[in-house]
Amino acid sequence: MMGESEKRLGNRLKTAAEAIRGAEYLTAFSGAGMSVESGIPPFRGEGGIWNKYDPAVLDLEAFVRHPGRSWPVIREMFICFLGADGRPPAQPNEAHRVLAKWEAAGRLKTTITQNIDGLHAAAGSRNLVEFHGHCRTMTCLDCGRELPLNAEATRAAVPRCACGGLLKPDFVFFGEGIPPGALEAAEEAARKTDCMVLVGTSGVVYPAAAIPQLAKRRGATIIEVNPEPSDYTERIVDLFIPMKAGAAFLRMDALLGPR
Protein backbone atom coordinates (compact mmCIF):
# COMPACT_ATOMS: atom_id res chain seq x y z
CA MET A 1 0.00 0.00 0.00
CA MET A 2 1.14 3.52 -0.76
CA GLY A 3 2.04 5.47 2.39
CA GLU A 4 0.22 8.69 3.18
CA SER A 5 3.37 10.78 2.73
CA GLU A 6 4.17 9.20 -0.64
CA LYS A 7 0.60 9.96 -1.72
CA ARG A 8 0.99 13.59 -0.62
CA LEU A 9 4.30 13.86 -2.45
CA GLY A 10 2.72 12.35 -5.57
CA ASN A 11 -0.02 14.98 -5.43
CA ARG A 12 2.51 17.78 -5.08
CA LEU A 13 4.48 16.49 -8.06
CA LYS A 14 1.27 16.35 -10.09
CA THR A 15 0.36 19.92 -9.12
CA ALA A 16 3.91 21.05 -10.01
CA ALA A 17 3.72 19.36 -13.40
CA GLU A 18 0.40 21.09 -14.08
CA ALA A 19 1.88 24.50 -13.19
CA ILE A 20 4.87 23.80 -15.44
CA ARG A 21 2.65 22.65 -18.30
CA GLY A 22 0.44 25.71 -18.01
CA ALA A 23 3.25 28.27 -17.68
CA GLU A 24 3.77 30.81 -20.43
CA TYR A 25 7.22 31.84 -19.30
CA LEU A 26 8.80 29.10 -17.21
CA THR A 27 12.17 29.80 -15.57
CA ALA A 28 14.55 27.70 -13.50
CA PHE A 29 16.79 29.06 -10.75
CA SER A 30 19.51 26.72 -9.50
CA GLY A 31 22.16 26.59 -6.80
CA ALA A 32 24.88 24.27 -5.54
CA GLY A 33 22.39 21.48 -4.65
CA MET A 34 21.70 21.05 -8.38
CA SER A 35 25.20 19.59 -8.85
CA VAL A 36 25.46 17.49 -5.67
CA GLU A 37 24.32 14.40 -7.59
CA SER A 38 27.08 15.13 -10.12
CA GLY A 39 29.57 14.68 -7.27
CA ILE A 40 30.23 18.37 -6.59
CA PRO A 41 29.89 19.22 -2.90
CA PRO A 42 28.08 22.41 -1.86
CA PHE A 43 30.07 25.10 -0.06
CA ARG A 44 28.09 24.77 3.15
CA GLY A 45 26.84 21.70 4.98
CA GLU A 46 27.98 18.12 4.69
CA GLY A 47 31.17 17.67 2.65
CA GLY A 48 31.22 21.42 1.97
CA ILE A 49 34.56 23.04 1.19
CA TRP A 50 33.96 25.77 3.79
CA ASN A 51 34.43 23.11 6.47
CA LYS A 52 38.01 22.91 5.26
CA TYR A 53 38.83 26.44 4.10
CA ASP A 54 38.03 29.94 5.23
CA PRO A 55 35.61 31.55 2.72
CA ALA A 56 37.65 34.75 3.13
CA VAL A 57 40.27 33.32 0.72
CA LEU A 58 37.78 33.90 -2.10
CA ASP A 59 37.34 37.54 -1.21
CA LEU A 60 38.62 39.80 -3.99
CA GLU A 61 40.80 41.96 -1.73
CA ALA A 62 42.24 38.92 0.03
CA PHE A 63 43.03 37.38 -3.36
CA VAL A 64 44.90 40.48 -4.49
CA ARG A 65 46.86 40.64 -1.23
CA HIS A 66 47.58 36.91 -0.76
CA PRO A 67 46.91 35.04 -4.04
CA GLY A 68 49.06 32.15 -2.79
CA ARG A 69 46.40 31.45 -0.12
CA SER A 70 43.50 31.55 -2.59
CA TRP A 71 44.93 29.36 -5.35
CA PRO A 72 44.94 26.01 -3.46
CA VAL A 73 41.17 26.45 -2.93
CA ILE A 74 40.57 27.52 -6.52
CA ARG A 75 42.60 24.56 -7.75
CA GLU A 76 40.63 22.15 -5.57
CA MET A 77 37.28 23.45 -6.85
CA PHE A 78 38.57 23.32 -10.35
CA ILE A 79 39.84 19.71 -10.05
CA CYS A 80 36.45 18.75 -8.67
CA PHE A 81 34.68 20.17 -11.77
CA LEU A 82 37.13 19.13 -14.48
CA GLY A 83 38.66 16.00 -13.01
CA ALA A 84 42.36 15.36 -12.39
CA ASP A 85 44.55 13.03 -10.34
CA GLY A 86 42.46 10.02 -11.37
CA ARG A 87 39.18 11.77 -10.60
CA PRO A 88 36.82 11.85 -13.62
CA PRO A 89 35.31 15.21 -14.67
CA ALA A 90 31.88 16.00 -13.24
CA GLN A 91 29.00 15.20 -15.62
CA PRO A 92 25.54 16.77 -15.82
CA ASN A 93 22.96 14.75 -13.87
CA GLU A 94 19.33 13.85 -14.67
CA ALA A 95 18.07 17.22 -13.41
CA HIS A 96 20.43 19.20 -15.69
CA ARG A 97 19.35 17.00 -18.59
CA VAL A 98 15.62 17.41 -17.93
CA LEU A 99 15.98 21.22 -17.83
CA ALA A 100 17.90 21.21 -21.14
CA LYS A 101 15.22 18.97 -22.64
CA TRP A 102 12.41 21.29 -21.46
CA GLU A 103 14.25 24.24 -23.00
CA ALA A 104 14.74 22.43 -26.33
CA ALA A 105 11.02 21.58 -26.33
CA GLY A 106 10.15 25.26 -25.82
CA ARG A 107 8.72 24.62 -22.36
CA LEU A 108 11.47 26.40 -20.39
CA LYS A 109 12.49 29.91 -21.38
CA THR A 110 15.44 30.78 -19.12
CA THR A 111 17.72 29.03 -16.65
CA ILE A 112 19.42 31.21 -14.06
CA THR A 113 22.20 29.48 -12.17
CA GLN A 114 24.44 30.46 -9.29
CA ASN A 115 26.72 27.54 -10.14
CA ILE A 116 30.10 28.00 -11.72
CA ASP A 117 30.66 24.37 -12.73
CA GLY A 118 29.40 24.74 -16.32
CA LEU A 119 27.12 21.69 -16.04
CA HIS A 120 23.92 23.39 -17.30
CA ALA A 121 25.80 24.42 -20.46
CA ALA A 122 27.30 20.92 -20.75
CA ALA A 123 23.78 19.43 -20.59
CA GLY A 124 22.69 21.69 -23.46
CA SER A 125 20.98 24.65 -21.77
CA ARG A 126 21.37 27.66 -24.08
CA ASN A 127 19.34 30.50 -22.64
CA LEU A 128 21.44 30.46 -19.52
CA VAL A 129 22.29 33.22 -17.07
CA GLU A 130 25.49 32.36 -15.19
CA PHE A 131 24.86 34.73 -12.31
CA HIS A 132 28.18 34.07 -10.55
CA GLY A 133 30.29 33.69 -13.69
CA HIS A 134 32.06 30.48 -14.68
CA CYS A 135 35.34 28.56 -14.60
CA ARG A 136 36.14 28.51 -18.31
CA THR A 137 38.47 31.50 -18.34
CA MET A 138 40.51 33.83 -16.16
CA THR A 139 41.25 37.51 -16.68
CA CYS A 140 44.38 39.54 -15.94
CA LEU A 141 43.62 42.11 -13.25
CA ASP A 142 46.18 44.49 -14.82
CA CYS A 143 45.77 44.35 -18.62
CA GLY A 144 42.39 42.61 -18.94
CA ARG A 145 43.73 39.79 -21.10
CA GLU A 146 41.57 36.64 -20.99
CA LEU A 147 43.10 33.15 -20.84
CA PRO A 148 41.54 29.69 -20.68
CA LEU A 149 41.35 28.29 -17.15
CA ASN A 150 42.74 24.78 -17.43
CA ALA A 151 45.22 22.49 -15.69
CA GLU A 152 48.08 23.71 -17.90
CA ALA A 153 47.41 27.38 -17.20
CA THR A 154 47.15 26.89 -13.44
CA ARG A 155 50.31 24.83 -12.92
CA ALA A 156 52.17 27.72 -11.23
CA ALA A 157 51.52 28.29 -7.53
CA VAL A 158 50.18 31.73 -8.50
CA PRO A 159 49.34 31.92 -12.23
CA ARG A 160 50.35 35.24 -13.82
CA CYS A 161 49.75 36.96 -17.13
CA ALA A 162 52.62 37.67 -19.56
CA CYS A 163 52.42 41.29 -18.31
CA GLY A 164 53.07 40.09 -14.75
CA GLY A 165 49.54 40.81 -13.58
CA LEU A 166 47.47 38.47 -11.41
CA LEU A 167 45.08 36.16 -13.25
CA LYS A 168 41.67 35.91 -11.59
CA PRO A 169 39.24 33.12 -12.52
CA ASP A 170 36.05 34.52 -14.08
CA PHE A 171 33.73 33.42 -11.33
CA VAL A 172 32.44 36.00 -8.90
CA PHE A 173 34.52 36.40 -5.75
CA PHE A 174 33.10 37.77 -2.50
CA GLY A 175 33.15 41.54 -2.63
CA GLU A 176 32.87 41.56 -6.40
CA GLY A 177 29.98 42.66 -8.63
CA ILE A 178 27.72 40.39 -10.68
CA PRO A 179 29.04 40.01 -14.30
CA PRO A 180 27.81 42.74 -16.68
CA GLY A 181 24.49 41.76 -18.16
CA ALA A 182 23.81 38.83 -15.82
CA LEU A 183 21.91 40.81 -13.18
CA GLU A 184 19.84 42.58 -15.86
CA ALA A 185 19.08 39.31 -17.68
CA ALA A 186 18.06 37.57 -14.45
CA GLU A 187 15.84 40.46 -13.38
CA GLU A 188 14.20 40.61 -16.78
CA ALA A 189 13.39 36.89 -16.62
CA ALA A 190 12.09 37.29 -13.05
CA ARG A 191 9.75 40.07 -14.17
CA LYS A 192 8.45 38.07 -17.13
CA THR A 193 8.12 34.65 -15.55
CA ASP A 194 4.79 33.25 -14.39
CA CYS A 195 6.35 30.10 -12.91
CA MET A 196 9.81 29.70 -11.42
CA VAL A 197 11.32 26.41 -10.27
CA LEU A 198 13.98 26.81 -7.56
CA VAL A 199 16.37 23.91 -7.17
CA GLY A 200 19.16 23.25 -4.70
CA THR A 201 19.61 26.77 -3.41
CA SER A 202 19.61 27.86 0.21
CA GLY A 203 18.64 31.47 -0.46
CA VAL A 204 21.31 33.05 1.73
CA VAL A 205 23.60 34.46 -0.99
CA TYR A 206 22.66 37.97 -2.19
CA PRO A 207 21.91 39.57 -4.61
CA ALA A 208 21.09 36.18 -6.22
CA ALA A 209 18.48 35.41 -3.56
CA ALA A 210 16.54 38.55 -4.53
CA ILE A 211 15.72 37.11 -8.00
CA PRO A 212 13.08 34.56 -6.86
CA GLN A 213 11.67 37.23 -4.51
CA LEU A 214 11.22 39.57 -7.47
CA ALA A 215 9.47 36.81 -9.44
CA LYS A 216 7.14 36.20 -6.49
CA ARG A 217 6.28 39.91 -6.17
CA ARG A 218 5.45 39.91 -9.89
CA GLY A 219 2.93 37.14 -9.23
CA ALA A 220 4.83 34.04 -10.36
CA THR A 221 4.08 30.61 -8.91
CA ILE A 222 7.20 29.43 -7.06
CA ILE A 223 8.02 25.71 -7.00
CA GLU A 224 10.96 24.55 -4.89
CA VAL A 225 12.91 21.29 -5.19
CA ASN A 226 15.18 20.73 -2.19
CA PRO A 227 15.47 17.79 0.23
CA GLU A 228 15.60 20.37 3.06
CA PRO A 229 13.56 23.54 3.58
CA SER A 230 15.50 26.68 2.64
CA ASP A 231 15.24 30.39 3.41
CA TYR A 232 12.68 30.59 0.60
CA THR A 233 10.36 27.77 1.67
CA GLU A 234 8.24 29.55 4.27
CA ARG A 235 8.52 32.99 2.70
CA ILE A 236 7.76 32.69 -1.01
CA VAL A 237 7.31 29.06 -2.06
CA ASP A 238 3.87 27.93 -3.25
CA LEU A 239 4.77 24.29 -3.82
CA PHE A 240 7.61 22.60 -1.92
CA ILE A 241 8.92 19.31 -3.31
CA PRO A 242 11.10 17.75 -0.58
CA MET A 243 13.23 15.63 -2.90
CA LYS A 244 16.68 15.48 -4.46
CA ALA A 245 16.93 17.22 -7.82
CA GLY A 246 17.47 14.14 -10.04
CA ALA A 247 14.47 12.13 -8.85
CA ALA A 248 12.19 15.18 -8.64
CA PHE A 249 12.85 16.32 -12.22
CA LEU A 250 12.56 12.79 -13.63
CA ARG A 251 9.17 12.40 -11.98
CA MET A 252 7.91 15.84 -13.03
CA ASP A 253 9.12 15.17 -16.58
CA ALA A 254 7.29 11.83 -16.67
CA LEU A 255 4.10 13.52 -15.44
CA LEU A 256 4.38 16.22 -18.11
CA GLY A 257 4.40 13.71 -20.94
CA PRO A 258 5.60 14.49 -24.49
CA ARG A 259 5.31 17.88 -26.07
Distance CA 230, CA 228 (A): 6
CA of 159: how far to CAs of 67, 74, 151, 196, in Å? 9, 11, 11, 40
Nearer to Zn ion, 165 or 179 (CB): 165
Distance CA 112, CA 27 (A): 8
Nearer to ligand NAD, 165 or 242 (CB): 242
| 3-class state of residue 40 by DSSP | coil
- Which positions lie near Zn ion, rule CB under 5 A? 140, 142-143, 145, 161, 163, 165
Residue 226 in the binding site for ligand NAD (CB under 6 A): yes
Phi, psi of 141 (to 5 degrees): -70, -15
Residue 44 in the binding site for ligand NAD (CB under 6 A): yes
Residue from 66, 96, 120, 132 carrying the catalytic annotation = 132
Residue 111 in the binding site for ligand NAD (CB under 6 A): no
Closest CA to 240 of 206, 203, 207: 203
Residue 198 in the binding site for ligand NAD (CB under 6 A): no
Active site residue 132: yes
With a CB cutoff of 8 Å and minimum separation 6, the contacts of 202 are: 31, 32, 33, 44, 230, 231
Residue 202 in the binding site for ligand NAD (CB under 6 A): yes
> Looking at 186, 205, 211, 236, which residue binds ligand NAD (CB under 6 A)?
205
Residues that bind ligand NAD (CB under 6 A): 31-33, 35-37, 40, 42-44, 114-117, 132, 199-202, 204-205, 208, 225-228, 230, 244-245
Which positions are annotated as active-site residues? Answer: 132
